[in-house]
């Protein structure tokens, strides 16, 4: 009974997370349709989606550091946050291809092979694809330990997405720097915790 109440609460919160996670996309779409996204609505829409993709990516990576630092355990919501990040990346790329390039795949190919900031964006996107595809119980069971190794690609995705974000502007952009520093902070907490764990492990076995 206790387990079923807990399960229901977690499922409900996950559902809430998925639905509220799409609010920024729907809201900016609505603003775009009503011509309220400023002088360059396509670019603004693309930027909003990219920014939320980055925010959700950071949020999914913040769950473990949050547990390490404060003891608050939100691991049950990591999959939802990670999938939201992926959904926003897909919408960000779709907006670029459909609204910006108008399905001009020749320009797309030229852009993603020649423009460095798009090469990094594409690398981040390609890292996230296998993670999204294997974010289900069946894959976790089938891949076993390899699932954890595969999901370390999220660090590569964050690094590539950070470079993409920083390079998206012609000059140093305070907002981008702030987000990237936050990402470096998250990776540092994980790194320190990993090295600390190894030290403790070595000490236990030495005794
Ligand atoms: C994990 C993958 C990705 C993330 C997290 C991401 C995120 C971002 C962010 C945060 C921005 C800057 C938004 C702002 O102005 O505040 C941006 C810009 C942009 N991104 Fe991405 N992106 C990703 C992948 C891609 C891919 C694969 C493409 C296209 C193939 C792409 C195309 C663009 C374009 C065209 C811009 C606008 C640059 C400009 O204004 O000239 N992104 N992206």
| Average pLDDT estimate for 160-183 | 95
As a whole number of angstroms, the distance between CA 52 and CA 48 comes to 6
What are the structural domain ranges in the chain?
2-206
Residues in the ligand 1 pocket, defined by CB under 6 Å: 43, 46-47, 50-51, 53-54, 57, 89, 92-93, 96, 112, 118, 121-122, 124-125, 128, 157, 161, 164-165, 168
Give me the mean pLDDT over the 148-169 stretch: 96
The pLDDT of 140-152, averaged and rounded, is 95
* CA–CA distance, 13 with 84 (Å, rounded to integer): 14
Q: Is 204 a residue whose pLDDT tops 80?
A: no
**pLDDT score at 119:** 98
CA-proximal residue: ligand 1, atom 27 (nearest): 122
Mapped onto helix, strand or coil, the DSSP state of residue 158 is helix
Q: Which residue has the tokens 């690398």?
A: 123
Question: Is residue 201 pLDDT above 90, yes or no?
Answer: no
Q: Distance from the CA of 74 to the center of ligand 1, in angstroms? A: 28
**Residue 29 banded pLDDT, cuts 50, 70, 90:** very high
């Amino acid at each position: 009974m206790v387990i079923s109440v807990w399960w229901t609460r977690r499922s409900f919160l996950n559902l809430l997370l998925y639905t509220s996670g799409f609010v920024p996309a729907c809201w900016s779409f609505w603003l775009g349709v009503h011509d309220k996204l400023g002088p360059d609505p396509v670019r603004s829409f693309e930027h909003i989606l990219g920014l939320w993709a980055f925010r959700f990516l950071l949020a999914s990576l913040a769950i473990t550091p949050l547990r390490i630092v404060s003891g608050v355990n939100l691991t049950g919501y990591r999959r939802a946050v990670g999938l939201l990040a992926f959904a926003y990346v897909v919408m960000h790329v779709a907006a670029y291809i459909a609204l910006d390039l108008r399905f001009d795949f020749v320009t797309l190919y030229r852009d993603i092979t020649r423009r460095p900031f798009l090469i990094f964006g594409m690398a981040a996107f390609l890292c996230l694809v296998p993670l999204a595809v294997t974010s289900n119980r069946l894959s976790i069971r089938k891949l076993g330990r390899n699932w954890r190794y595969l999901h370390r690609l999220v660090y590569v995705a964050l690094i590539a997405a950070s470079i993409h974000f920083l390079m998206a502007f012609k000059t140093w952009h305070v907002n981008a720097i702030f987000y990237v520093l936050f990402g470096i902070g998250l990776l540092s907490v994980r790194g320190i915790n990993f090295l600390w764990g190894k030290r403790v492990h070595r000490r236990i076995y030495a005794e």
